[in-house]
Amino acid sequence: MSQPLRLGIAGLGTVGIGVVRIIRQHSALLAARTGREISISAVSARDANKDRGISLSGYAWENDAAALAVRDDVDVFVELIGGHEGKAKEAVEAALDAGKDVVTANKALLAIHGQALAMRAENAGRALRYEAAVAGGIPVIKSLTEGLAGNDVTRVMGVMNGSCNYILTRMESAGLSYEEVFAEADGLGYLEADPQLDVGGIDAAHKLAILSSLAFGTQVNFDGIALEGIERVSIDDIHAAADMGYKIKLLGVAQKTGRGLEQRMQPCLVPDTSPLGQLDGGTNMVVLEGDAVGQIVLRGPGAGEGPTASAVMADVCDVARGVSGPVFGIPANRLAQAIPASSELPAPYYLRMSLEDKPGALARVAAVLGEAGVSIDRMRQYGHEDASAPVLIVTHRTSADALQQALTAMAGTGVVASAPVALRIEAV
């Protein structure tokens, strides 16, 4: 058997401890599958005295992650600190410069600095692997780089933040407002220390940026993502969407178009009978489409000790086997610069509005839509007891510009009681 593969683990939170547990519990299995013993030489975290529910006395301790990264008895630096700046970035760079392979779960680091780190790793001839950075235990990185290597990928789409999906499905099932479920999720510890990373769509957008680079051979371009969180989704929209046969999801979509690379992370409607429409709770789902394979759907836990540690170990095992390749599937110096799409592809839209109880109000709204080139597919008006009537409209495929023109014109009609809500409907 070959020499042991020695790990240095920086970050001993939930995932880091999960990695330690897997190595201890499955040491013989890992050796059988990789042909090498996998061991831990040293660890690092902010607090050496914290009770983590497992003894770490058998490992050397480093207070500084960067010092851990360059130890002579470390072959693979496992970065589980998080964050796109500071210690995580410094330690990963130090490891690569010292000739170490790197395994990370840090989506923010890759979304912001992915191109520079890929160049650094490939110039040094080292591996930089990150299966755990996207969708937890779902092997989506391997699916794109290995399973679909013979495909021209046409679209990547998915629900990539379990906390947001929990909030939206809980709102629907319990009939609670966004504010009520947000407080509940926060109390249960489902949200990041900065909740905006979750509900603002930032966490999921980091993941989409990575997948987009892999799928389309472009440099990671987080800034090119059109980003909107779930804060404006109301229980009224959830009920109305359900009444029209849809579910609302925080959906990431990336696709290459003749107008450039379209990357969106925003609340969208999807058919309630689709795989995404049936996705409940904190589970993640990624849909990949290729010219040869068609569509595949990957579903599983997007976070947690076991699933994320499982993904970390998948990368460690690949390093142990000597598996290598470009960080983003294509050599970093050949990745094209991503050109953001000048406009989104046309799509149907859901509109919800309240109209003044005046003769011809509905006809006036329909006329404004028609004047902007937006045609109506379905429309529903509900009974009312006050001076305004709720109306739902599903349009045929239209451009975002035409829809915005119509919404702007509606404000001047004198028949719209409140600003309309408009959400894109995504084909699945």
Residue 242 exposure: Cα atoms within 13 Å on the Cβ side: 13
What residue type is assigned to position 232 of the chain?
Answer: R
Residue 207 designated active-site: yes
| Cα end-to-end distance, the chain, whole Å | 48
Indicate the DSSP class of residue 344. P
Both tokens of 243, joined, read: 């009444």
Q: Which residues pair with 261 in a beta bridge?
A: 256, 340
Cα–Cα dist 70/59, whole Å = 16
Both tokens of 276, joined, read: 């995404």
Cα–Cα dist 1/307, whole Å = 29
Cα–Cα dist 162/145, whole Å = 24
DSSP 277-333: TT--TTEEEEEEEETTTEEEEEEEE-SSHHHHHHHHHHHHHHHHHT----TTSS-GG
Annotated catalytic residue: which of 207, 247, 249, 256? Answer: 207
Nearest of 366, 375, 378, 379 to residue 413 by alpha carbon: 366
Cα–Cα dist 114/133, whole Å = 12
Active-site residue set: 207
